[in-house]
Chain A
């Protein structure tokens, strides 16, 4: 039973380019969370999605960032016109959600984005 998968593991983008980060949740999980972690900082919640729905995006910057979780395929976190300050580790986590009786989240290995 594969865990949460994220790709790419490392991504280098020049300022102004777009970054697309992908996350496939654990089998049987329909809830996905995205987090950002800066060096020496804690995890910051960005967005919470279920299939085809954004449930809470209160942690997402208003501009340049978007997320989706289509009916088929992985969840995508998209960052347009990247700036150096976007350099961070982006983690995705999945859970079965309240309907599944659990708040427990399982994390993917993360994508380390470097903006040059």
Chain B
């Protein structure tokens, strides 16, 4: 099993739709989690951290499910500009400063 797995998609949704992605991780001791967004041929940009209690930022909600070892990202009222690849990032515990990136989930929002 890969350390961090994501469904590559693409998820093809109309504007205004709600879409959710999951990201599973294999190391049960993982401590820190993030979602990044990467546009084609650009650098990844930090979207949001994922806290144990969940985290909401406007139309975006991130949640952590430790029991099932996955994090999720929910996007409400999708915009055309949300089209991108969404990367999840996991840090293991034990003082590791090395993140593991998932390969990303592609989202295409169409008119």
Chain A interface (Cβ < 8 Å from any Cβ of B): 31, 33, 35, 41-45, 48, 55-56, 58-59, 89, 91, 97-98, 103-110
The answer to whether residues A45 and B97 also contact, given A103-B91, A107-B44 and a CB cut-off of 8 A, is: no
Beyond A42-B87, A103-B97, 8 extra complex contacts between A and B, CB < 8 Å: A45-B101, A58-B98, A98-B95, A103-B91, A104-B49, A105-B46, A107-B43, A109-B43
Closest to B96 in A: A56
Q: Which residues of A contact B100 (CB under 8 A)?
A: 45
Q: Which residues of A contact B32 (CB under 8 A)?
A: 103
Interface: B34 (CB within 8 A): yes
Q: What size tier do the contact residues of chain B reach?
A: 20 to 34
Please measure, in the bound complex, the distance between the C-alpha atom of A48 and the C-alpha atom of B32, giving whole angstroms: 17
CB distance A42 to B103 under 8 Å? yes
Please measure, in the bound complex, the distance between the C-alpha atom of A103 and the C-alpha atom of B91, giving whole angstroms: 8
Interface: B1 (CB within 8 A): no
